[in-house]
Amino acid sequence: MKVHLSTLLKRPFVRYLIVGGGVYMLELGVILIAQAGGASPVSAVAISFWSGIVISFLLQKFVTFQDKRMHHKIFLRQVLSVGLLVGWNFFFTIAVTWLLQARLPPTVTRTIALCITTLWNFYLYRTSIFREPENPIY
């Protein structure tokens, strides 16, 4: 079992899902706490979304893709790239919540949006954002 687990953890997609699952649980907790505090479904999801971003970025960079590069040009490019992706994901998530809020609770709409964004995020992280270049110049 131990050998099988270590083999699985060598795969970036497995690490990506584990990190993402942990951040997802954090986000669901934030939604529930925000709603208990009186936030609307859309506001609760918005608060949840942003609360998970910084933690997710750092864990995906260092744990999932094991990208230890911290040169300011590389890190800034990654932050800007993830920022653009996050902006798109945020508006997509809020749109899904807004469209489905009359039929589904916000935890479900957030889950639907998250399942969709998870796929394109992994692809972009792996192929461009956290990919080391063939001939690095740093």
pLDDT at 67: 94
Is 110 among the domain residues?
yes
pLDDT at 3: 67
How many domains are contained in the chain?
A: 1
**Residues 81-120: tens digit of each pLDDT:** 999 999 999 999 999 999 999 999 998 998 899 899 999 9
In a domain, 24, yes or no: yes
Q: Does residue 138 sit within a domain? A: no
> Region 8-32: what's the mean pLDDT?
92
Asked if residues 130 and 67 have their Cβ atoms less than 8 Å apart, the reply is: yes
**DSSP 8-state assignment for residue 38:** T
Mapping DSSP to helix (H, G, I), strand (E, B) and coil, where does residue 92 land?
A: helix
Residue 113 lies in a domain: yes
Nearest-angstrom CA–CA distance, 2 and 55? 27
Distance CA 2, CA 73 (A): 39
| Threshold 0.85, pTM exceeds | no
* Host domain of residue 58: 11-129
Query: What CA–CA distance (Å, rounded) separates 22 from 40?
Result: 24
Split at pLDDT 50, 70, 90, the class of 136 is low
Rounded to the nearest integer, the mean pLDDT of the chain is 91
Give the pLDDT mean for 110-134: 91
The pLDDT score that the predictor gives to residue 49 is 84
